[in-house]
Amino acid sequence: MNARVLIDGPSELVFDYAVPAGLDVRAGCRVRVPLRRKSATGTVLAMTPMPEQADFALREIESLIDPQPLITPVLLRAGEWIADYYACGIETVIRSLLPESVRQEENSAKTRRVAVLDAAPAAEVMAKLARRAPRQHAILALLAHAPDMSLPVADLGDGSAAALKSMEKAGLLRLVAEEVRRDPEADAHDEVVESAPLALNEAQQQALEAIVSRIGQPAPKPVLLLGVTGSGKTEVYLQAARHALDMGKTVLVLVPEISLTPQTVRRFKARFAAMRDQVAVLHSHLSQGERFDEWHRIRKGLARIVIGARSAVFAPLPDLGLVLVDEEHENTYKQESVPRYHGRDVAVLRAALEGCAVVLGSATPSLESWHNSQTGKYDLLRLDQRADGRKMPLVRVVDMRQEAAKHKGGPAVLSDKLRVALEKRLETGEQSILFLNRRGFARSLQCPACGHVCQCPHCSVALTYHRTDERLVCHVCGHQSIVPRKCPECKDPAIIMQGYGTQKVEEIMAKVLPAAKIARIDADAMRRKHALRDTLGAFKSRKIDILIGTQMIAKGLHFPNVTLVGILNADLSLHVPDFRAGERTFQLITQVAGRAGRGDIEGEVIVQTFTPHSPSIQYARRHDFDGYAEQEMEFRRQFAFPPYGHCAVLTARSNHERRAGFTLQTLHLRLAENLPSGILLGEPLPSPLVKAHGQFRFQITLRSPKARPLTRHVQAVLARTSLPEDVTVVFDMDALNFS
């Protein structure tokens, strides 16, 4: 057999190599191979039969980097599917399957030297050392009273090296290298308290039994668990995980954002206290060393529960029995760089390849998953009531057009109704959450005299004013500039701030309710490591009265004392050029509203909006997912949008506007030639965000009832098209971002 090897590096070089006798090479192994006059490292993609006749001899593999395959056959198959479906190179997929920290040979396990006693030293030996070598005597005394009669050399104090060397030579002790785990949760200060399984209501019990019945089955259907906020989905996850572990299986838990990982880890460690060392974490914010250790712990079977963001879907878990995808509707499961896979869809694919159960949970499922449940592709389980039997929060909609008429000088940030409700909660010692999905102080700076708006030089967006740093910041590329004291164009000093963000809301709240303890959670306030965890911990312990935040606080949080949630501008996500705008608005309002009323007191939600009659807002007010889905699905059906087809975006970008536009027009003409039936080809147009990171962007939208004909047609056109050096073309299958 020959080995087909993908060479490491930016180029996708794949070569066949002969396998020398005695070398156990399999698909997924890491190998060292000759490449021209040097050695290179690579990954074996497949084993191929030797040709009967060949005009040349293949060069041989030099050595195995690791004796065992680092990529399992299932993950290799999943990688090939991703490369084909999302039209990307296999090399980029391998980079996702094998993190950089694992591929690089210079990374290795961290070790420390440990002094070990095999037996307690004799009294006469200790007496002799006390007279002649007091340092050695002290070390032996420490080791004799230490657990397992061993201590790290670093704990024996400075100046111990010579004494240890002498004692090792005399046979009094052994010096060994011990592997040290770099634990991502090692510096967590809050102690995890063991939790017992909670009693389930009837709906939860039925859902649990349905999920457990699928664990261990050869090809179970995916399960969509639709549970209203506070219905106890997490408890169902935990008890289902217990059954999988009891059956000798492993469990994979995906969360939509890295910020939700710590609290999920704590919940699982609290429930599985006896095996908390077998819980591993995987996400992109780990250091190289932490990722290396966690990945190898998983591969060796030392970790049986893996929790992480979308990249954790590639965790090398053996005997996978259950995959849990929490908040499956979230856009963050979609990778925005190559390979542009969707973590939820890859999780379903992996579960099918592994033959294990997969549960997709959400209070507001994506319409794609909902459609799959209605057509029989997924099984639907429902939790329509909160686990404690309490009512869903009362949602009130405030028409900000009427509020604007009351207040001269523009609409107020806080409506009178919301301000009064906040005052009442503060008087009764209850807590409140204010949600605004825009960070910063002001949306833009504008000159009232000439109309000039301070814009980013690299992107076609206005710069946002951040008062904390006294900077104008671009929320696309991160560009920063100083705040002008007068208009850069007409020099008028009366430049004014337009709109508002979380910083301004925090300042207003400090003036309106000076007695309240207020905290803000957004990307600016949470820069310090563990700042989010510490702030949420303070809020949970009732040290904070009002929490102001962006979508970081919209989901997954459980605070029983929160009885009021205010949504300050529900229209932010509604009026954008995206057919999913209404769906996202409905999901966001529903998720944020679900933070209220989780304790003994009924919750209240106040939604401030300029479009109160929008279906997204009205159905969210009634907590009516079925009603919203019915009317939205009819709209999607009429225009052949997902889930009644697949939608892809082809984008050309360049520093030169004309080249990007001309390239896309050329591709459009070639795509139109021999276009397979059923594919709808849009016109080449500037992207809604026409310039980002200094590059001009143009895009074509394509729709098709089936994905593969669309992907292969685009791949064929791109393969025979020579692109200018300064133009990049990106294909995004099942696109979620159209900006």
CA distance linking residue 560 with residue 563, whole number of Å: 8
The CA–CA distances, whole Å, from 88 to 85, 92, 162, 702 equal 8, 7, 57, 17
Where is the domain boundary, 74, 103, 132? 103
Asked if 229 and 367 sit in the same domain, the reply is yes
The CA–CA distances, whole Å, from 503 to 318, 551, 691 equal 47, 15, 27
Residue 320 lies in a domain: yes
User: Using an 8 Å Cβ cutoff, are 29 and 19 in contact?
Assistant: no
Looking at residue 146, what is its pLDDT?
A: 87
Asked if 99 and 151 sit in the same domain, the reply is no
At 306, list the tokens. Answer: 């893996």
CA distance linking residue 412 with residue 408, whole number of Å: 9
Residue 316 lies in a domain: yes
CA distance linking residue 686 with residue 486, whole number of Å: 32
Q: Which of 345, 262, 256 is nearest to 309 (CA)?
A: 256
User: Using an 8 Å Cβ cutoff, are 5 and 60 in contact?
Assistant: no
**Residue found under tokens 């820069």:** 527
At 298, list the tokens. Answer: 């998983």
Paired residues of 357 in beta bridges: 322
Asked if 257 and 322 sit in the same domain, the reply is yes
User: Beta 471-473 vs 480-482: how paired, if at all?
Assistant: antiparallel
User: Using an 8 Å Cβ cutoff, are 611 and 661 in contact?
Assistant: no
SS3 call for 525: coil
| Number of CB atoms found within 10 A of residue 343's CB | 23
Asked if 578 and 706 sit in the same domain, the reply is no
Asked if 564 and 666 sit in the same domain, the reply is no
CA distance linking residue 664 with residue 652, whole number of Å: 6
Looking at residue 67, what is its pLDDT?
A: 86
Residue 425 lies in a domain: yes
Residue 368 lies in a domain: yes
Residue 208 lies in a domain: yes
Where is the domain boundary, 151, 172, 193? 172
| CB proximity list for 91: less than 8 A, separation 6 or greater | 6, 9, 10, 11, 12
Where is the domain boundary, 635, 662, 692? 635
Looking at residue 375, what is its pLDDT?
A: 96
Residue 8 lies in a domain: yes
| Number of CB atoms found within 10 A of residue 638's CB | 9
At 177, list the tokens. Answer: 């290298």
CA distance linking residue 38 with residue 25, whole number of Å: 21
Asked if 599 and 712 sit in the same domain, the reply is no
Residue 464 lies in a domain: no
CA distance linking residue 443 with residue 500, whole number of Å: 6
Query: What region, left, alpha or beta, does residue 558 occupy, with left being phi > 0 and alpha being psi -120 to 50 degrees?
Result: beta
How many domains is the chain partitioned into structurally? 5
Domain that holds residue 143: 118-172
Q: Give the helix, strand, coil percentages of the chain, each rounded to 5.
A: 35, 25, 40
Asked if 266 and 289 sit in the same domain, the reply is yes
At 654, list the tokens. Answer: 């360049």
**Quick one: 565 exposed, middle or buried, by C-beta within 10 A (0-12, 13-18, 19+)?**
buried
At 79, list the tokens. Answer: 């990688």
Asked if 424 and 555 sit in the same domain, the reply is yes
Asked if 366 and 400 sit in the same domain, the reply is no
DSSP for 447-470, written as a single string: -TTT--B-B-SSSSSBPEEETTTT
CA distance linking residue 216 with residue 236, whole number of Å: 18
Residues in the chain: 739
pTM: 0.89
Residue 45 lies in a domain: yes
Q: State the CATH number of the domain containing residue 76.
A: 3.40.1440.60
Asked if 546 and 430 sit in the same domain, the reply is yes
Q: State the CATH number of the domain containing residue 658.
A: 3.30.70.600
At 269, list the tokens. Answer: 């460690």
Q: State the CATH number of the domain containing residue 546.
A: 3.40.50.300
SS3 call for 153: helix
CA distance linking residue 248 with residue 352, whole number of Å: 19
User: Using an 8 Å Cβ cutoff, are 42 and 317 in contact?
Assistant: no
Alpha helices in 122-176 (DSSP H): 123-132, 134-145, 161-169
CA distance linking residue 308 with residue 280, whole number of Å: 8
Q: Which of 696, 702, 693 is nearest to 731 (CA)?
A: 702
CA gyration radius, the chain: 30
Question: Rounded to a whole number, what is the distance in angstroms from the first to the last CA of the chain?
Answer: 48
Asked if 433 and 549 sit in the same domain, the reply is yes
Give the pLDDT means over successive 10-residue stretches in the chain (739 positions): 87 87 91 91 88 78 90 94 93 89 76 87 86 88 86 82 87 86 70 87 96 93 95 95 96 91 89 91 87 91 94 95 96 94 97 96 96 97 89 93 74 88 94 93 88 92 90 93 90 86 93 94 83 87 94 82 93 89 94 89 93 95 95 94 96 96 96 94 95 95 95 94 94 93
- Positive or negative: CA dihedral 408, 410, 411, 415: negative
At 59, list the tokens. Answer: 């060069």
What stretches of 431-560 adopt beta strand conformation (E)? 431-435, 444-446, 464-466, 471-473, 480-482, 496-498, 518-521, 546-549
User: Using an 8 Å Cβ cutoff, are 718 and 70 in contact?
Assistant: no
Looking at residue 561, what is its pLDDT?
A: 93
Paired residues of 465 in beta bridges: 442, 472
CA distance linking residue 442 with residue 501, whole number of Å: 6
Asked if 281 and 371 sit in the same domain, the reply is yes
| CB proximity list for 547: less than 8 A, separation 6 or greater | 431, 432, 433, 434, 518, 519, 520, 521, 535, 539, 553
